């Protein structure tokens, strides 16, 4: 497979691009964690940034909701943000100390988020109605979340060393990881119907099937600190290697390759896919 990487400058490196997603308008949308804003890269290459309203929210993860707007977590002020493709914003306040991180659109049309500081998984309807479900752990640090193929949401528990599943009624099942202190973070639904995730502390990828069976795949560089992951439409997955300045790929035969970014210390974080390729948010203020 031939892989070509190019970097597109977006904003200053002090802005801290973190999460990235494909929007319903054909643009790429990113969170600017350090600057406190949202950026939009249109198909023609035009960049527009939107400061958070109110300011200071430290946005992390962004996704498209069932209402055609972009929804994102504001980890700095315990809110969920919403921005339309025209730039109009509103927020939904969460309980103090929630610390929302990952967010995903659920099969019920609601947005589901991981409360990393509160040991909760929360649910927000597009009209602003909010509910939260406590997890059976203390200090588990739920981080990222994704919709599964089974009408449930799957999430990583970074400090509890487990993958969790929550159904639409709030029932939770936890699956401990085979590797101790693996530190799971990014998670995604694979095109094979299984859930794929990364273990940032162990330098591994993981796969869990709907029955809870887990298989781990050690990276060639165990210090690469994999962070975010997205399914490959041809099978396998693409992921960011935050600690090694690479984009990684696991093919359908479970072979793993890493592709170095042109700029040193670019710090790749979020990753998404579109019809034009795989896109990653780089801390240096660019995407690749």
* Residue 13 backbone dihedrals phi, psi, to 5 degrees: -60, -20
**Alpha carbon distance 159, 140 (integer Å):** 5
Q: Which two tokens stand for residue 126?
A: 């597009």
Q: What is the DSSP letter of 15?
A: G
CA nearest to 214, candidates 188, 195, 227, 200: 195
**Alpha carbon distance 60, 52 (integer Å):** 12
What count of residues does the chain have? 288
Determine the 3-state secondary structure of 23 from DSSP: coil
Residue-wise burial string across 262-277, b where 16 or more C-beta atoms lie within 10 A, e elsewhere? eeeebbbbbbbbeeee
Q: Alpha helix locations (H) across the chain?
A: none
Selecting among 130, 227, 249, 269, the annotated active-site residue is 269
**Alpha carbon distance 141, 76 (integer Å):** 15
Instruction: Please calculate the CA angle 164-73-279 and round it to the nearest 5 degrees.
Output: 85
227 has catalytic annotation: no
Q: Which residues are catalytic?
A: 269
């Amino acid at each position: 497979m031939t892989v070509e990487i190019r970097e597109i400058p977006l904003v200053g490196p002090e802005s801290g691009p973190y999460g990235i997603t494909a929007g319903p308008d054909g643009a790429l949308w990113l969170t600017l964690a350090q600057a406190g804003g949202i950026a939009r890269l249109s198909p023609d290459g035009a960049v527009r940034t939107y400061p958070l309203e109110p300011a200071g929210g430290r946005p992390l993860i962004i996704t498209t909701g069932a209402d055609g707007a972009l929804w994102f977590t504001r980890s700095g002020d315990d809110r969920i943000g919403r921005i339309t493709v025209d730039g109009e914003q509103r927020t939904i306040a969460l309980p103090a100390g929630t610390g929302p991180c990952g967010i995903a659109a659920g099969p019920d049309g609601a947005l589901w988020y991981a409360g990393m500081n509160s040991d909760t998984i929360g649910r927000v309807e597009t009209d602003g109605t909010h509910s939260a479900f406590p997890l059976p752990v203390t200090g588990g640090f739920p981080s990222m979340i994704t919709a599964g193929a089974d009408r449930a949401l799957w999430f990583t528990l970074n400090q509890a060393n487990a993958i969790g599943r929550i159904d639409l009624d709030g029932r939770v099942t936890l699956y401990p990881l085979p590797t101790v202190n693996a530190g799971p973070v990014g998670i995604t639904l694979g095109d094979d119907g299984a859930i794929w995730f990364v273990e940032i502390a162990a330098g591994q990828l993981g796969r869990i099937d709907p029955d809870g069976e887990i298989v781990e795949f050690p990276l060639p560089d165990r210090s690469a600190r994999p962070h975010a992951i997205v399914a490959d439409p041809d099978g396998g997955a693409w992921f960011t290697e935050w600690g090694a300045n690479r984009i990684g790929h696991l093919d359908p035969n479970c072979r793993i390759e890493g592709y170095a970014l042109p700029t040193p210390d670019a710090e790749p974080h979020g990753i998404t896919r579109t019809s034009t390729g795989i896109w990653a948010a780089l801390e240096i203020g660019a995407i690749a």
